[in-house]
Amino acid sequence: MSAVVIHTDGACKGNPGPGGWGALLVAGGREKELFGGEPSTTNNRMELTAVIRALEALKVPSEVEIHTDSQYVKNGIETWIHGWKRNGWKTADRKPVKNAELWRELEALANRHRIRWYWVRGHADNEGNLRADALANRGVPGR
């Protein structure tokens, strides 16, 4: 199984507003940068999209480390998703889960790989996160 380290980030100018996502993939001494955006979105949607697009880029099942500054993404995929599925994609207070279609997509992609999730402090001295942040900002439409 290949080993891949992924750094992801999302950015939004206004929340909601124009947003971007970025991902840096590192494997075998090679790097791949991905970014994109949407004219009207939220920061959480961009954080999720960054991870989804990064996992879509992997052609074979891999050992993956995902570094995100989004506790929403890390907690959602590791913990909350199990309850949401049990509750028919409803939260504990019976409201529909926000971004459910993205969570379903992320879960399907994540199931193809062996993933370890890491939370990193955003805008701190973490080169991978800083590069993912720069890519996300590059993806914001109109920038």
Residues serving a catalytic function are 9-10, 47, 69, 123, 133
The three-class DSSP label of residue 118 is: strand
Cα dihedral sign, 114-88-82-97: positive
Contact criterion met (CB below 8 Å) for 10 and 70: yes
Residue that is written with structure tokens 């993912």 in the block: 132
> CA–CA separation, 64 vs 14, rounded Å?
31
User: Could you write out the three-class secondary structure of 90-119?
Assistant: ECCCCCECCCHHHHHHHHHHHCCCEEEEEE
Q: For residues 33, 34, 35 and 41, what is the CA-based torsion angle, rounded to 10 degrees?
A: -140
In angstroms, the first-to-last Cα distance of the chain is 38
